[in-house]
Structure 1
Amino acid sequence: MTNRLFTENKNIKENVKNDIFLKQQVERIKSDSEKFANKDIAALTYTSFKKFYVTGSRKEYEYEYFLHRRRLNDFAILNILYDDEKYRLCLQDIIWSILDEFTWALPAHIPQNTDIENCITHIDLFASETAFALAEISHILSDKLDKTIVERIKYEVYRRVLKPYLSGRKNSWDCLENNWSAVCAGSVGSAFLYFGTDEEIQTVLPRIKETLEYYLKGFGDDGACVEGINYWAYGFGYFTYFAQLLYQYSDGKDNLFDNKKVENIAVFPQKLWFKNNNTVTFSDCGDKFTQRSGLIHFLKQKYSQIAVHDDNCSLEFDGDGCYRFAHLIRDFAWRKNNIKVQTESENGFYYFKNAGWYIKRTSNYEFAAKAGDNKESHNHNDIGVFLLNVGGDKIVTDPGRGEYTSDYFSSKRYKYFPPSALAHSVPVVNGIVQQEGEEYRGNIVKATENELIIDCKDAYNDCSLKELTRKFEFYDDKIVLNDKFAFDTDKNDVTEHFVFDVKPTECENGLKIGNTEMCYNVSDFECKINEVTYASNYNKQKTVYTVDLKHIVKTKTVETKFEFNIKNTWKERK
């Protein structure tokens, strides 16, 4: 039945002819491939493999690992488009090198002191993705590749991934309610559809589907992804890729798309699109709205309410630092040249009750806030946090993801700035910042077009705190924030903490941040402004500015008021 699978790949040459974006990508891939064509393939060394376990640094090993996948992507695409012996030989060489890798899993995902056999057959995100990519490349290009390459691909995919899974061995992601379950189960399931016998496929399908059900459990019925838009594209992308292959394999009888929750998940990202391709940066999310255009174009055919944005936010061939073939090939195979794009965001508000998210977009500003709990996937300690963009510029910000290291995903996580409470615009109460844990949570009490109220009391480990309510009032040209604190003891310290993308300056009525004024009663507070530079992904440095406004009067109840007066400059710049 493999002749039914991914027949869309036959559209790629025609798509490139008619699609300016794809033509540009092909030219860039050609140029990129020239850097590899006459350069030896670097081996993945034991020294760099071991370094993660010694120092916690991921970047040394992963740089070369993902460079292998970049080569694979380049030469696979070029072989699909052209009959060129140079490209064919380069593709076979990089496939051979990947087949020679000690393990397809990353050191960061393999427990230390794992025995050799389990290292080789450890199925993590990237082992499963590699199996999927090689199986799909073999399926598309079997007539171009040497028989030895085709046979060895199948042998290694079986040895490292399919046989261990068939054996019933448990995986850490089998029951996870986040992107891991979708990526791993989707990739393993897809590799089975390409290489497995019908008997093997029927054996594993119930287990694959069960894991995908766990993935869907990670969403409420509102479809919101608390991990943010990047992890939405990652997890839901691989869910979609497997679902479509399964639909084709079963000749339409097995349809995972016929599910209202799946539909709600599919339409979620378009609600996070802000001017200048900014987005909501809750959790470990990047700060730009990006889309895998093939994925979005495909989903548009399934669900008519999907909004397709223009290619200013489409990821290019090298926009994914992990170089995932499944994403890239579907950008080429699934894009529709005549699809209508949406160039302006729709004004209005969205309330995601299950996730505890609120998003509001107007012609003057964009706002987002959240409640939830402090044990979410890729959690940050951020109950009551809010973001404010004005005229396409970030004003009140959230740093998003930090650099991924071993400690970042350990008990030391909140010693890093990005996931800590101090990286978020939330109060500090009696010197206590929010802590991690499901018991530290908030609740949206009211969410309307003009008002948002969040109960944040349970986000703090302070038994004297009896009330902490954040209320936002929304107007055309301003947002008013009122915080109300109540204690059962006297003399309490309240510090209002804010995080800005640009450096604020003190003025007569409060603070000036870009073209926005944050006005408050300056006589009530001591103001301290700090500059914080931190490591983002792969050691990129970012800088934000924190402001601590310490309430001078220590009383049993404290009420604060801040007005964000907004000057719209977006129309002037367009």
Structure 2
Amino acid sequence: MRTDQPGQPDPPIPGRPGPLIPGRPGPLSTALREGRLTPRAVVDHAAFAGVPAATRDSITAIADETLGAPWPQPTLTGWRAHLRDGSRLAWEDPYFARRHRLHATALALALTGDHGRYADEVLDGVWLLAEETTWCLPAHDEQALGPDRVVPDPAHPYLDLFAAETAATLAWILRLHPAVFATVPGVAARVTDEIRRRVLDPFRTNGRDYHWFGAPMNWNPWIVDNVIAAALLTGDDPAPILEAAVASLDAYLAGVPADGGCPEGISYWWHSGARLFEALELLGVPAEIWSDGLVRRIARFPLTAHLGGEWSASFGDGGARVPRTDGRARKDHLSPALLHRFGRAVGDAEITAFARASRGDDPLTTLPSPMGRAIAALTDPAWRDAPPQDFPEPPVQWLPETQVAALRGGTLHLIAKAGHNDEPHNHNDVGSFVLAVRGEPVVVDAGTGVYDRDSFGPDRYRAWFTRSAFHSVPEIDGHEQVPGPGFRARDVRLSGKIFTLDLAGAYPPEAGIETLRRTFTVDDDLVTLTDAWRLDHRPEHIRLRLLLREDHRGVRIALPDHVRPRVEEIALTDPHLHAVWGDRLILMTLNVTAPAATGEVTVRFTPR
């Protein structure tokens, strides 16, 4: 298996639909034109009676925690905080807390039928969302602000991820609780009008002008999925919306990696590949879409990224896990129920087994969760009745376009990447890797902290966790990897359980690196990492960095005699990083003694 060989393109991967040619409709647009889509968004009210008591009680307990308390209130000061000092939390914390509270209460009402306890709370939450000046986040509304605007303009709503998701949330709740809204005439009409004005009309009239329309990244299916749901649930002239929606999804399928990988990271797969699945479900696509090779490969990405238990490889901004102990978690929990349906749709028993293993003894759905996603999990009898499963363990997984290799050796599990430094949600991490022992990560990728104003601007790489100096890659004479599409791995090869790549192209020319070949070799309970270099000068410093979990006692690291290790702690004050990893990570720097223009370092990892 080989990729990125000069002058020789990779062979096409079977099942890829190919580039979208202007003027030629893609497979979804063709199916729509031929009348072979059966779009529908339904709520099976009767199915709530079959939800197990443990799931019902877990959701009602969450709803009862805030019942009767004052609702969170986003403020103008919170909105302006993003412009003043870059903070996103001042607005986003109360914004998402409102929605999470409404989700839990609406589901508790559906599960218990206790109108006296929950109906007014649902009405209040829905009305508060309808009264909000904007459903868009400040960080996203900047694209709509003119030079003289510092506050959102309700006359010019911007259609971002969470405006679309708010519309779908409200539409699902209207469909879930028609009797509640019948008791207060006018509320449903008001909410439906807000959905139309803020989301459906902008998508219908200007959808193709948005930067995310047709793009091969999470914004496209995330927004389109929610727009489709809102249109179908409200019955608001869905035909032109569906026409634009399938065109955007066709372009997404034509642009994402042919191997089904998600360069944005595993946590973004749940709002990229998973959102694609939900959109295809809502569209009622024909069987040939589910059997398409690319769609099937997209469904398998969580298996490739998985390390064990709740842990996955966290390249780029992807999170290694969603913390369960963070009481005010703003991140949606993962949805193994969705993955189970995805596996059934594409006919892959390994995916369904993985999904059921991911659930363990958990409820059918874990909050917070998008509203439609939770409803689907609670009303799916196949998911409810699925027997316990163990995680499947494919021995070798290889994504030739994304350039990610997942290799197992006994109790060790290595996931390494090549790629380039202009991936979506990019970190400068060409050649980086994570290593788990018995399903627990020991050599890690930190992932990302809480987003702020600099996260997606020119100062992105000032954050330590985006720099190569804090990934497990080499540094030559103080030169780190640099961002940009041209800074990439070369001569990437996977042969059996030997993964090799040349990292030289990820560094600036002034580093003087002719070759920097990294080789991972995976044997039974042994992973060997060798970095061999050839420079155009005698270097002063060559350093290899290993980013380790604070408790990395599960692995033994054997070092050669010509390196001197130095260990330092990285205190994790960022709330998101702290929730994932704890108080600190450990940065181990391996300094090569008396480095020459050519040389190598070999590090061996074995389980304790």
Task: Say whether the fold is shared (TM-score over 0.5).
Answer: yes
Structure 2 CA distance for aligned equivalents of residues 179 and 452 of structure 1: 29
Change in CA separation of 1:33 and 1:154 when aligned onto 2, cut-off 3 Å = same
Aligned to 1:329: 375
Distance in 2, matches of 1:538 and 1:476, equals 35
SS of 1:481 mapped into structure 2: strand
When the two chains are superposed, the root-mean-square deviation of aligned CA atoms in Å is 2.5
Contact 2:409 2:526 in 1 (8 A): no
Matched residue, 1:566: 607
Hey, what does 2:274 align to over in structure 1? 237
Tell me the equivalent position of 1:570. Answer: none
Letter in 2 for 1:12: A
Q: Which residue among 279, 285, 294 is the counterpart of 2:312?
A: 279
Normalising by structure 2, report the TM-score. 0.83
Whether the 8 Å contact between 1:162 and 1:192 is mirrored in structure 2 is: yes
Partner residue in 2 for 1:430? 477
- Select between 235-244 and 156-165 the one with higher mean Cα deviation: 235-244
Q: Which runs of 5+ in 2 are unaligned?
A: 1-37, 323-332
Alpha-carbon shift at residue 425 of structure 1 (Å): 0.3
Q: Distance in 2 between matches of 1:341 and 1:271?
A: 21
1:105 alignment counterpart: 136
1:193 is aligned to 232
Letter in 1 for 2:295: V
Q: Is the CA contact (8 Å cut-off) linking 2:476 and 2:541 kept in structure 1? A: yes
Cα distance in 2 for residues equivalent to 1:398 and 1:119: 43
Q: Which moved more, 1:264-273 or 1:452-461?
A: 264-273
Residue 61 of structure 2 is aligned to residue 31 of structure 1:
yes
Residue number in structure 1 paired with 2:192: 154
The answer to whether the 8 A contact 1:536-1:542 is kept is no
Instruction: Mark the CA change 1:202 to 1:380 in structure 2 (over 3 Å): closer, same or farther.
Output: same
Which residue in 1 is equivalent to 2:47? 12
Aligned to 1:509: none
Q: For the structure 1 residues 282 and 491, does the alpha-carbon distance in structure 2 shift closer, same or farther, using more than 3 Å as the test? A: closer
Q: How does 1:40-119 map to 2 (within 5 A)?
A: 40-81=70-111, 82-111=113-142, 113-114=145-146, 115=149, 116-117=152-153
Contact 1:404 1:537 in 2 (8 A): no
Contact 1:293–1:314 under 8 Å retained in 2:
no
Q: How does 1:291-306 map to 2 (within 5 A)?
A: 291-305=334-348, 306=351
Residue 228 of structure 2 contacts residue 242 of structure 2 at CA under 8 Å; is this kept in 1? yes
Counterpart of 2:201 in structure 1 is 163
Give 1:562 deviation, angstroms.
1.4
Task: Report matched runs for 1:216-365 at 5 Å.
Answer: 216-247=253-284, 256-288=289-321, 291-305=334-348, 306=351, 307=353, 308-310=355-357, 311-312=359-360, 319-320=367-368, 323-334=369-380, 336-365=383-412
Asked if the contact 1:527/1:547 (under 8 Å) is kept, the reply is yes
Determine helix, strand or coil for the equivalent of 1:548.
strand
Shift of 1:274: 2.4
Structure 2 match to 1:478: 526
Deviates more, 1:541-550 or 1:351-360: 541-550
For residue 9 of structure 2, what is the aligned residue in structure 1? none
**Does the Cα contact within 8 Å between 2:220 and 2:249 map onto a contact in 1?**
yes
1-structure distance, mates of 2:88, 2:268: 19
- Residue identity over aligned pairs, in percent, reads 24
SS at match of 2:482: coil
Q: Do the aligned residues in 1 keep the contact of 2:266 with 2:318 (CA within 8 Å)? A: yes
What are the residue-to-residue correspondences of 1:414-493 with 2, within 5 Å? 414-443=461-490, 445-463=492-510, 464-491=512-539, 493=541
Aligned residues: 542
> How much has 1:254 moved relative to structure 2?
9.3
Structure 1 alignment gaps of length 5 or more = 504-512, 568-574
User: Which structure has more RCO (C-alpha within 8 Å, separation ≥ 6)?
Assistant: 2
CA distance, structure 2, for counterparts of residue 179 and residue 295 of structure 1 = 17
2:356 alignment partner, SS class: coil
Give the CA deviation at 1:535. 4.3
| Alignment CA distance shift 1:240-1:286 (3 Å) | same
The residue type paired with residue 182 of structure 1 is P
User: Separation in 2 of the partners of 1:316 and 1:339?
Assistant: 10
Q: CA deviation at 1:554?
A: 3.2
SS of the counterpart of 2:127?
A: helix
Match of 2:179 in 1: 143
Q: Secondary structure at the match of 1:408?
A: coil
User: Given residue 126 of structure 1, which amino acid in structure 2 is its aligned partner?
Assistant: F
Q: Which letter maps to 2:138?
A: P
2:136/2:163 contact within 8 Å kept: yes
**Which moved further from structure 2: 105-114 or 402-411?**
105-114
The aligned amino acid for 2:317 is D
Superposed CA deviations along residues 260-292 of structure 1, whole A, max 9, x for unmatched, are 211110122123332333211111122228740
| Cα deviation digits, residues 520-565 of structure 1 (max 9, x gap) | 223x223321111234454746421112222122322121111223
**CA separation in 1, counterparts of 2:290 and 2:98?**
33
Q: 2:244 aligned to 184, 188, 207, which one?
A: 207
